[in-house]
Amino acid sequence: MFILISGVILLFSSCSGIRLLNSSASSSTSAESQASPEIRIYSEQPVFPILHGTAGRISDNSISLHAPHLSDLSYSPDGCPADSGRLRLLEALLRSQGAPSDLVALPWVESSYYVGDYSRVGAAGPWQFMSGTARHFRMNMTDEIDERYSWTASTRTASNYLLYLNRMFDDWHLALAAYNCGEGVVQRALSNSERKEYGMIELPGETDAFVPRYSAALQAVRQREREEPKLSVVIVPPGLDLRLLAAESGIDPDELAENNRGFLREVTPIGQRNWEIVVPSDKAAIAFQAAWSISRDRYTVKNGDSWVSVGEATGIPANDLMEVNSSSMPPPGGVLLLPESGRIPVNSNAAVSAGFFQYTVRSGDSLGGIGALVGVSSREVALWNDMTTASTIYPGQKLLLRGTPPEGSDSVTILRATSEITHTVQAGDSMWALAEEYGVSVEQIMELNNKDSAALSIGENLIIKPE
């Protein structure tokens, strides 16, 4: 069966798959009317527009339970923090990557399905990715997007990582253990044991508890009643303001934002790629159509619009809309500019909410000495900052510490002169050489010039000593 929606053909096949093809009649070279690229989508019945899966890649091999009765935490069907719609979405994403849908229980153990979760060691999102691991798997982390907080990107990446671990150990319980403590730890434990199976090797205490917790959570998820799919994934273009999409597709703007917290400014980043967003299933078709047909950065006024109605549709206070536009509503067909999103990004103050504070490294500091300030080891400091105990630290570097900030930890003693002393950076200059030349600390130069790192640019004018 063929359906044509704004130049996009949806092909429904007997295997419940969907394939989106550009209609030749809708081809255009302009960025604004750019059509969606060819996309292969796999779905169950009812339709789930989940990308990249094909019938041949679907894997639903169940994962055996390992001593769920030994879990030190309680998991019950009624106590699951994710609703059925969220679980169905994650199951479909997992299957689309070729991973068992049973892995849907893992975020319950990792984050209680809280997309904004940020652990004491800096792991983020529902699947708890450290920043270094996320970069290794090429997840986007910029001031516009952090894919650790994206339901789609983080689930796909977790699927790929867990499939890799399962291929390595040929055992899902060992793969899950490695997801928790690292593949190197599990490999060393296996090499030191005659029995090469989970439960018979020496692992850290937290990891020993991890797999029984997962098994208990999985057992509870399996007992939940299955409901109709409520969430879907659609492809949208770069540079699209999600508040506009909410208004044009009739989706509650708060709901759309909550389902897509990885977009830190409520706008899909501009670039050479398209993006996945999560939308209510009953709005998926209209959201897809709107995403590729509307203006991506400004609202087109319609008959009957008012500041209040547009504000409610976009989730933007009417006064904020009036402030960035003229005081009178344009006629139908006119456009309104949107202010920057006022929604607090999901990663904002994540470290602070977890009890962390920022420490500026000083000359002579070591990880051990820094850790002693808050009563922890160098290893703990390294874990908090996604480094190893052998990593080099330098004056001016910002580190996260957890605990009570030591008195005066952020204060810098400023040496002054009778008149202001400045220096224009030349080839070969370094922060440390300049500090030694002028008899000041690196911290002073960074403080006076509001610098977060010791990097210098040729021609940069630095204040060395204030008057």
| Domain assignment present for 158 | yes
Residues 182 and 217 in one domain: yes
Evaluate whether residue 385 is within a structural domain. Answer: yes
Q: Do 372 and 439 belong together in one domain?
A: no
pLDDT value for 401: 80
Which uninterrupted H or E stretch holds 19? Answer: strand 17-22
Give one word for 460, left, alpha or beta, with left for phi > 0 and alpha for psi -120 to 50: beta
Same domain, 211 and 63: yes
Q: Could you say which of 197, 222, 247 is where a domain stops?
A: 222
Token reading at 458? 């040729």
Same domain? 126 vs 66: yes
Say whether both 92 and 175 belong to one domain: yes
What domain count does the chain have? Answer: 3
Co-location of 141 and 90 in the same domain: yes
CATH (domain of 185) = 1.10.530.10
pLDDT level of residue 451 (50, 70, 90 thresholds): confident
Do residue 70 and residue 129 come from a single domain? yes
The pLDDT tens digits for 381-397 are 887 776 778 888 888 78
311 φ, ψ (degrees, to nearest 5): -60, -40
Which of 38, 91, 110, 197 does the annotation list as catalytic?
A: 110
pLDDT at 10 > cutoff 90:
no
Residues 114 and 149 in one domain: yes
Domain presence at residue 445? yes
Q: Are residues 364 and 454 in the same domain?
A: no
**Measuring CA to CA, how many Å separate 287 from each of 54, 246, 247, 334?**
23, 8, 10, 22
Q: Which of 222, 244, 272 is the last residue before a domain boundary?
A: 222
Assign 60 a pLDDT band (cuts: 50, 70, 90): low
Same domain for 428 and 398 = no
Q: What value does the mean pLDDT take over residues 400-418? A: 67
Contact by Cβ (8 Å): 153, 276: yes
Instruction: Assess whether 124 and 62 both reside in one domain.
Output: yes
Q: Which position has the token pair 């899966």?
A: 53
The pTM of the full predicted model, rounded to 2 decimals, is 0.67
H/E element holding 78? none
| Mean predicted confidence (pLDDT) in 294-312 | 95
Q: What mean pLDDT is predicted for residues 62-74?
A: 90
The CATH number assigned to the domain holding 394 equals 3.10.350.10
Q: Examine the domain organization and report whether 172 and 73 are in the same domain.
A: yes
The mean-pLDDT minimum among 67-71, 230-234, 354-358 falls in 354-358
140 domain-assigned: yes
Residue 270 lies in a domain: no
Q: How far is CA 369 from CA 33, 358, 361, 363, 381, in A?
A: 58, 15, 11, 12, 10
* Percent share of the chain, pLDDT over 90: 46
Token pair 């029995």 is found at 195
> Would you say residue 173 lies in a domain?
yes
Instruction: Evaluate whether residue 315 is within a structural domain.
Output: no
The answer to whether position 258 is within a domain reads no
- Looking at 222, 249, 281, the residue that finishes a domain is 222
From CA 22, how far away is CA 24, in angstroms rounded? 6
Q: What is the pLDDT of residue 307?
A: 95
What residue numbers bound the domain in which 455 lies?
A: 421-465
Six-digit token string for 168: 């390595």
Phi and psi dihedrals of 86, rounded to 5?
A: -65, -45
Determine whether 110 is an active site residue: yes
Please give the pLDDT value at position 244: 97
